[in-house]
Chain A
Amino acid sequence: MATDPEHRPIGRRMRWQLGITVAAVLVVLLLLRMWSGGDDTEAPDDDGFDVTGALSGEEDAAGFARVTGPEPLSFPEDHGPHPDYRHEWWYVTGNVRDADDRHFGFQVTLFRFNVAADPPEREAALATNQLWMGHLAITDTESGAFHHRERFVRGAAGLAGGVADPFRIWIEDWEMTGDGEDMMPLRLDFPDDDLGLDITLKPRKPLVLQGEDGYSRKGPEPGNASRYYSYTRLAASGELMVGDTTHGVTGQAWMDREWGTSTLSEDQAGWDWFSIQMEDDRDIMFYHLRRNDGSIDPLSKGLLVEPDGDARVLSLDEVELEAQRHWESGGGTRYPVAWRMQVPNEGLDLRLEAVMDGQELRGAFRYWEGAIRITAEEGPDGVGYAELTGY
């Protein structure tokens, strides 16, 4: 079945919007945290990289490469880094179970930032304008423990970086290594102290280009856009290390790829983003962009991917999403952790709930990124991930 051309641009825009918003909210969060003067008990604001710094001069994107219109993506080259653009990420989340049916959620993300548009020539190999940030998070649902690690490493002298073919990107000993075309199968090897994962991903649906053939517009100006594509259904198998225990696990995962040099929207406060993988092999991505005044931005959208990989946009008014329960983190932030999602056109009435409430990442900036379970009033059950920022 052919992809509906009418819907594609809207879908792209949604994911594009999300990408922009990620950056926007990071900056807003950072600024807020700096100005509020360290309200948290731990992880003071001088403990790590300031994303505001990395994304500084958002208004002035001069000197960086821009995404100005649809261009055919070229693989495998485009799986690798695009250092001239301001930011880029490789993002994987998944829900897996071990032999005893014990559930785990995992998230690994490698971010790349260009921190200086037009750097001088340098002698030292350690000099660079590339900065990498890595996140590793594991949700141990049964014990109720949430573990996460963060790394900031310069993309120089081989400490962090990436190559497209054969595909490999790494932050020190955290790496994603591809084996074959289109980076898949992809091995995620993320060892750390008392935590780690070594998981191989195999695609069960083809890669989905977001937006207009991967050109994802954010606003009216053609330059305010990014390149964007996803793998919405990946078979995951491998090992998780939690403490000194290793669990052999299998399950499914989701991958997002995006890069660009975007301008952030000032009236956006944050977003609630969901990836849902249903038992009937349909996948849903949906998000609410929250504005500062509490309203939902009309650009909020979703994407539905059929079992065969065809996708169509879910517009804001097609999906009813309502938070039903909240949880307050140790730092005093109140996050929604249970929702009701209705998609009447698709015959879906789903209850989305965090597998556990405490899945907040407390690194250089704070956000909630966690495994959710889907129980259906109507339609199939499923698993998924939610990302909550700007709270």
Chain B
Amino acid sequence: MALLLPRSLLLRASLRYLWRHPWQLGLALLGVAIGVAVVVAVDLANQSASRAFTLSTEALTGQSTHQVVAGPEGIPEDWYVGLRREHGLRPSAPVVEGFVRLPERDDHSLRVLGVDVFAEAGMRPAIGAITGRVPVGELLAYPDGAVMLASDLARLGLEPGDPLTVRHRGRDHTLRVLEGMTPQRELDATGLRDVLIMDVAAAQELLSREGRLDRVDFVLDERRLAVLSELLPDGARLVEADQRAASLAQMTDAFQLNLQAFSLLALVVGAFLIYNTMTFSVVQRRQLLGMLRATGTTRGEVFRVILLEAAVIGGVGTTAGLLLGLALATVLVDLVTRTIDDLYFALAIRELSVDPASLLRGAALGIGMTIVAALAPAREATAIPPRAALSRSFLEHRRRRWLPLLTVAGVVLGALGVVLLAATGERLTPAFAGLFALILGMALLVPPLLSLSVRLLAPVLGATAGYLGRMTARGVGASLSRTGVAAAALTVAVSAVIGVGVMVDSFRTTFADWLDATLHADVYVSVPGGGAMEPDQRQRLEGVEGVDFVTRSRFVRVGAGDHDARLRVFDIPTPAEEGFRFRAGDPDRAWRAYRDAGAVFVTEPYAWHHGIAVGDTVTLSTARGERPFPVAAVLYDYGTSEGAVIMGRQTYDNHWDDPAVDSLGVYAGDGVSTEGLRERLQSAAAEGEQLLQFQSNREIRTLSLEIFDQTFTITQVLRMLAVLVAVTGVLSALLALSLERAREYAVLRAVGVTPRELGGLVTAQNALVGVLSGLFAMPLGLGLAAALILVINQRSFGWSMDLAVDPWILLQALGLALVAALVAGLYPAWRMARTTPALAMKED
């Protein structure tokens, strides 16, 4: 250690320096801390969401190795009985599943898990244990017995024995809470959250699935697997339990990777900050370091002490960042799970779970990044010759010699980024690498661009604002080593703001256009919480006066080879067909094939995820076995990132025995008012028992856009955090610059420049840096937006969208850069303007 650690004199000098520049130090720490906090928070939020998913999947999957999963009609229970009676296939456990809502408790949603508790012992022991806790007769013989986690009961304010009203498909049922269970395993205690455990028969009755099972879970060895594969009922599929869970989890991978990349962006901006701080500290101490070298300090020691300083800043900043990250994560985890809820599937758990590995990763990234960022300044420090203090102008001059090098590196990196983005097929990781290369390349180009710009601007400014104008421009250029870095950090941050803003805006515009094109019916009728409409209700509604025609929709999941596909079944009269927008496939031919030849449409994300094009087929598990369906068209669709297969009602009825309809789109006849129609529909529905919801197309549009905005809240939050890091960086850079120039400003004061003029000069310089950074950020931001829209989003979610650039976003970004620079420069300007020239001239 003694060899590695610099001598105490050097250490003391170093510590003293840091101590005497608390603003510098504080801002550097803040930059690291925010960067680390964002990375850690996003990581923790992602991990928590994944863990929530894993826990509930594992608790619900239990020990099962395989599952037989039903199509829309379910599995006949007799098939299961036969398996047990004739083939002794055991352990096997029947499951009836569904969701209910609690109308008395904010429509809180619960998963109903209908099981045979006696079949659960070898499958989900925690559920099997119910047999020892609850009078069995209450479960088997009565239709209303339900068991929940004791913690859930406590949350809902329920006691065993209490009634619980649940709503399913618009009907209320009163259940009886039999018992609150407290599983021993953490997995079950968390994974069974918001699960209502009922007997399979009671669940069938509650969910209107009499005689049917949704799936049967098995623990199978090779022999039994072979037996079972021969016995599958039509429409059902045998899947490996963990594979099913994995394919579900994969859906969110892209989304989570996106968040991770965003969080890294914040750290990159933070690294600029470190680089800036360390460089500044070296430059400022060049005399001191020169003296130390003269008194025998070696280059190695100087190098190490700078790195040590960086490590200390990194360490302290990272520690603060971890704490900040934990706090931030509690907010983000809610946003992340909400987005996953909206985009993919319901997650019952929304608490933060702190994975030590996340913290460790964050710490390593924070400290590592700090040290890497300090490498160049440390090398610069070793270059200071003994006894000689290089003049600042020499340093700046040398830095300017690097400009061509920076330009070349920036162009090469940027080009590499573009190539990675454009030419790497379907994978997401190289696309993100490309994105980062593009950003870094642009960042490297900022100093040369800045230098060029101020040189061009100097005469202009000089002409308009006299010598102070010229000085403003020249000053920025003369201290390029500082202003360059600050501008680069600001450019990166602002471009991220532009890129993400344009992306979200484009997406929203595309989404809204699609909604407008799709939502044609005047009133949409559906069952609150989803599910099939009761036939008598449907007949009542369709017979209401003033109805021109209706569209009928059915939403189910069916097996499609290795995955469950969403299948949307539409019964659409010709006038309503214009609601479909074709991305690929000739509409006329596609419609003919769809109506007459049993062809299907797929949505764009589905086509993307499964590599399907017009002319291919999709193989679906129908009630009559697996059947191929030709794909006649690929449709634009922003309803689900998972994608869906769209099928005509006739085709569906030919292959499935499922007459159910989930929702109606009601078209008003000529001259019929939508409001009147809606009222008549509502009063017709009131004659039946099933509760239905009625929404106009405008309401659905508004609601959809609300959900959209909610989904992107997390993106907006990260965007703002990146800006925060950048503002910190700019503040730090400008502060450093002003401090360094104290002497220069003092001279100016001494030769007669008034404090007001000086303040103006400093502010103008800052504004110049801000405006130029904002301008540089525009092409980069638009490039990022294009990359995000055309590559990242496309690959992540399979959605194509139009690039819509709202000038307002660009203006906002420019304003943001300007304000950031001005705010950041406020204190230094104020301080400089106030300092007594004599005092300032003495400094350093």
Known: A47-B125, A159-B81. A116 touches B141 (CB 8 A): yes
What residues of chain B lie closer than 8 Å to A158, measured between beta carbons? 78, 81, 85
Chain A residue total in the interface (Cβ 8 A) = 36
List B residues 90-134 near A (Cβ within 8 Å).
90, 116, 118, 121, 125, 128-129, 131-134
What residues of chain A lie closer than 8 Å to B87, measured between beta carbons? 173
List B residues 49-99 near A (Cβ within 8 Å).
77-78, 81, 84-88, 90
Complex contact A191–B210 (CB within 8 A) = no
Complex contact A159–B137 (CB within 8 A) = no
Bound CA–CA A270/B142 (angstroms): 33
| Contact indicator per residue, chain A 70-100, by CB within 8 Å of chain B (1) or not (0) | 0000000000000000000000000000000
| Contact indicator per residue, chain A 37-57, by CB within 8 Å of chain B (1) or not (0) | 000000001111110011010
Bound CA–CA A297/B237 (angstroms): 60
Complex contact A49–B201 (CB within 8 A) = no
- Majority secondary structure, A binding face: loop
| Contact indicator per residue, chain B 179-213, by CB within 8 Å of chain A (1) or not (0) | 00000000000000000000111101100001100
13 pairs, A vs B, C-beta closer than 8 Å: A46-B125, A46-B132, A48-B128, A48-B132, A54-B136, A116-B141, A116-B142, A119-B137, A124-B204, A129-B140, A159-B81, A159-B84, A172-B88
- In the complex, the number of residue pairs spanning A and B with C-beta atoms less than 8 Å apart equals 122
Complex contact A120–B132 (CB within 8 A) = no
Complex contact B85–A170 (CB within 8 A) = yes
Bound CA–CA A75/B14 (angstroms): 104
Contact of A126 with B by CB under 8 A: yes
Give the A-binding residues of B (Cβ under 8 A): 77-78, 81, 84-88, 90, 116, 118, 121, 125, 128-129, 131-138, 140-143, 199-202, 204-205, 210-211
Of A148-156, A298-306, A323-331, the one contacting chain B is: A148-156
Residue in A127, A131, A159, A193 whose beta carbon sits within 8 Å of that of B202 in the complex:
A127
What residues of chain A lie closer than 8 Å to B142, measured between beta carbons? 116, 119-120
What residues of chain B lie closer than 8 Å to A173, measured between beta carbons? 84-88
Contact of A375 with B by CB under 8 A: no
Residue in B84, B88, B129, B134 whose beta carbon sits within 8 Å of that of A53 in the complex:
B134
Known: A47-B121, A48-B131, A124-B200. 14 other contacts (CB 8 A): A49-B131, A49-B132, A50-B132, A120-B142, A124-B211, A125-B77, A126-B116, A127-B201, A129-B141, A131-B140, A152-B131, A153-B84, A154-B116, A159-B84
Complex contact A46–B133 (CB within 8 A) = yes
Known: A124-B201, A128-B141, A156-B201. A172 touches B85 (CB 8 A): yes
Bound CA–CA A220/B205 (angstroms): 45
Complex contact A127–B85 (CB within 8 A) = no
Q: Which 8 A-B pairs have the closest CB atoms?
A: A46-B129, A115-B137, A116-B137, A116-B141, A124-B201, A127-B201, A119-B141, A126-B201
What residues of chain B lie closer than 8 Å to A50, measured between beta carbons? 131-133, 136
Contact of A62 with B by CB under 8 A: no
B116 CB to closest chain A CB (Å) equals 7
What residues of chain A lie closer than 8 Å to B77, measured between beta carbons? 125-126, 157
Bound CA–CA A129/B137 (angstroms): 6
Residue in A124, A129, A157, A159 whose beta carbon sits within 8 Å of that of B205 in the complex:
A124
What residues of chain A lie closer than 8 Å to B204, measured between beta carbons? 123-124, 126
Complex contact B200–A49 (CB within 8 A) = no
Complex contact B131–A124 (CB within 8 A) = no
Bound CA–CA A110/B659 (angstroms): 43
Bound CA–CA A153/B120 (angstroms): 11
List A residues 140-189 near B (Cβ within 8 Å).
152-154, 156-159, 170, 172-173
Complex contact A49–B136 (CB within 8 A) = yes
A31 CB to closest chain B CB (Å) equals 12
Complex contact B128–A46 (CB within 8 A) = yes
Bound CA–CA A53/B87 (angstroms): 30
What residues of chain A lie closer than 8 Å to B88, measured between beta carbons? 172-173, 191-192
Known: A47-B121, A116-B142, A173-B88. A125 touches B137 (CB 8 A): no
Complex contact A115–B131 (CB within 8 A) = no
Bound CA–CA A173/B140 (angstroms): 21
Bound CA–CA A153/B140 (angstroms): 11
Complex contact A125–B118 (CB within 8 A) = no
A94 CB to closest chain B CB (Å) equals 23
What residues of chain B lie closer than 8 Å to A172, measured between beta carbons? 84-85, 88, 90
Bound CA–CA A192/B138 (angstroms): 30
Complex contact A131–B85 (CB within 8 A) = no
Bound CA–CA A193/B89 (angstroms): 10
Complex contact A115–B202 (CB within 8 A) = no
Complex contact A125–B211 (CB within 8 A) = yes
Q: Which of A122, A128, A153 lies at the interface centre, i.e. has the most chain B CB atoms within 10 A of its CB?
A: A122
What residues of chain B lie closer than 8 Å to A120, measured between beta carbons? 141-143
What residues of chain B lie closer than 8 Å to A45, measured between beta carbons? 132
Known: A126-B77, A127-B140. A115 touches B201 (CB 8 A): no
Bound CA–CA A282/B74 (angstroms): 58
Bound CA–CA A125/B199 (angstroms): 12
